[in-house]
Amino acid sequence: MALAAADYFFDNKYKRAYMDNFTNLVPMERSGSLRKSLRHALSFLERGYNALVFPEGTRSVTGEIVDFKPVLGFLALTARTGILPVYLHGTYEALPKGSNMIRSRDIGARIGRFIPVEELDAMSKGMPKSEGYRLIAAYARHRIENLRDGAASSFDAKGLRRRWRAERRAHLAEADAAAPEDQLTPTGD
């Protein structure tokens, strides 16, 4: 089973008929209730199905890998399932975003080492759930970039978390600096 954007792959009766009859795609809403869409995806995972998830959330407009959505970590930890990283190459050239016609191009896949849920648990242990989900998504992206590049660079989870904290502090400092002074409350003197 693969989760597919309902608003793209099932948006008219012809596409819907084709997808329903000739693929094993399951429509997933990208707008509206995210909670409902995630429950739908989890129901398949919990019944033992595998799910093909495109963790960027949409196709890239440039063909470059962009940040993965934390929903990947959420699905893995909630459904208690591991992740099999796969790098797909040639798909952007074959069907760029916005195109309706598939172009004849060589496409292929590089399949990485399965990441068991126990490894994901250990990686996210002791951190807030949302940060754990984000870290797992970043780790999966790192592994897929290694597949793309034919590399074996290590993942620096501690360094990434330090960078996130620094970015969060900088963002808060900017917000504080931008707050108008008239919002300060008098002390009653």
| Confidence class for position 185, pLDDT limits 50, 70, 90 | low
Segment 47-68 shows an average pLDDT of 86
Answer for the pair 107, 95: CB distance below 8 angstroms, yes or no.
no
75-125 per-position pLDDT tens digit: 999 999 999 999 999 988 988 888 878 889 999 999 999 999 999 999 999
Judge whether residue 189 has pLDDT over 80: no
Residue with the bigger pLDDT between 8 and 122: it is 122
Percent of the chain predicted with pLDDT > 90: 49
Answer for the pair 27, 4: CB distance below 8 angstroms, yes or no.
yes
Q: How does DSSP assign the chain, residue by residue? A: -EEEEHHHHTSSHHHHHHHHHH--EEEE-SSS-HHHHHHHHHHHHHTT---B--TTSS--SSS---PPPTHHHHHHHHHT--B--EEEESHHHHS-TT--S------EEEE---B-HHHHHHHHTTS-HHHHHHHHHHHHHHHHHHHHHT--PPP-HHHHHHHHHHHHHHHHHHHHHHS-GGGSPP---
The domain limits of the chain are 2-153
Answer for the pair 103, 43: CB distance below 8 angstroms, yes or no.
no
Segment 152-177 shows an average pLDDT of 91
How high is the pLDDT of residue 184? 54
Judge whether residue 61 has pLDDT over 60: yes
